[in-house]
A and B are shown apart, each in its own frame.
Chain A
Amino acid sequence: GQNIDQPTEMTATEGAIVQINCTYQTSGFNGLFWYQQHAGEAPTFLSYNVLDGLEEKGRFSSFLSRSKGYSYLLLKELQMKDSASYLCAVMDSNYQLIWGAGTKLIIKP
């Protein structure tokens, strides 16, 4: 079956760095996405990785290793507004998104 695993909840301090991991097992692979979702709102796109390596976009970076079925989202210089759920999703061979359960990130002052 298809499976996406990510931690349920993480806590970090304002100004620090946090890494949210995601492992996956899917039928086919057409890219991995990270979305941010604030409570009561729809997800917003953060990043897309289809090749191995690190993609940097401002304070956020995303890494992919296809051979290991592994990705992480790295958030630097954390701000209180970064408190949200972070969803990992993999696009399978049918171009359908398979979603992880999301990681709730709590930022403390």
Chain B
Amino acid sequence: GAVVSQHPSWVICKSGTSVKIECRSLDFQATTMFWYRQFPKQSLMLMATSNEGSKATYEQGVEKDKFLINHASLTLSTLTVTSAHPEDSSFYICSAREVSGRAYEQYFGPGTRLTVT
């Protein structure tokens, strides 16, 4: 089956620094990747949708200058949390949709737990 990896799986950073999270589709090509954030005991919240080679589409309320998304290839998307603050501490999950797959097939990465101190 299709596999999506994320790196790192967890990260601790100091307030004011930037953190980059990678999302890779390992055995398929993904035209579209999605970035989610999940706070404890809450459901997934879509942050942005990124299409390979074009600018990401951000959901309302998500600061595009703070959460930089780059989808440079069909197998890699990155999320950079800039000038991180403690309130950015969360579980970040990406998912990827296959190029030739049916519209509904999305595969999730294992998630990255970010803690900002």
Which A residues form the contact surface with B (CB < 8 A)? 30-31, 33, 40-45, 48, 50, 87, 91, 95-97, 99-102
A79 to chain B, nearest CB (A): 22
Find out whether the CB atom of A99 lies under 8 angstroms from the CB atom of B43: yes
A47 to chain B, nearest CB (A): 11
Which of B69-77, B81-89, B105-113 is found at the contact surface with chain A? B105-113
Smallest Cβ-Cβ distance to B93: which chain A residue: A42
Known: A101-B42, A102-B43. A48 touches B104 (CB 8 A): yes
Task: State in angstroms the CA–CA spacing of A95 and B107 once bound together.
Answer: 14
Find out whether the CB atom of B103 lies under 8 angstroms from the CB atom of A95: yes
Known: A30-B103, A31-B104. A41 touches B110 (CB 8 A): yes
Interface set, chain B 28-74, CB cutoff 8 A to A: 34, 42-46, 49
Find out whether the CB atom of A97 lies under 8 angstroms from the CB atom of B46: yes
Smallest Cβ-Cβ distance to B112: which chain A residue: A42
B117 to chain A, nearest CB (A): 19
Smallest Cβ-Cβ distance to B41: which chain A residue: A104
Our pick among B42, B44, B108, B113 for the contact of A40 (Cβ within 8 Å) is B113
> Which B residues are in CB contact (< 8 Å) with A102?
43
With a 10 A CB-CB cut-off, give which of A42, A43, A44, A95 has the most chain B CB atoms: A42
Our pick among B106, B107, B110, B113 for the contact of A97 (Cβ within 8 Å) is B106
Find out whether the CB atom of A91 lies under 8 angstroms from the CB atom of B104: yes
Find out whether the CB atom of A87 lies under 8 angstroms from the CB atom of B44: yes
B111 to chain A, nearest CB (A): 4
> Which A residues are in CB contact (< 8 Å) with B104?
30-31, 33, 48, 50, 91, 95
Task: State in angstroms the CA–CA spacing of A87 and B106 once bound together.
Answer: 15
> Which A residues are in CB contact (< 8 Å) with B43?
87, 99-102
Task: State in angstroms the CA–CA spacing of A97 and B91 once bound together.
Answer: 18
B1-34 to A contact mask, C-beta < 8 Å, 1/0: 0000000000000000000000000000000001
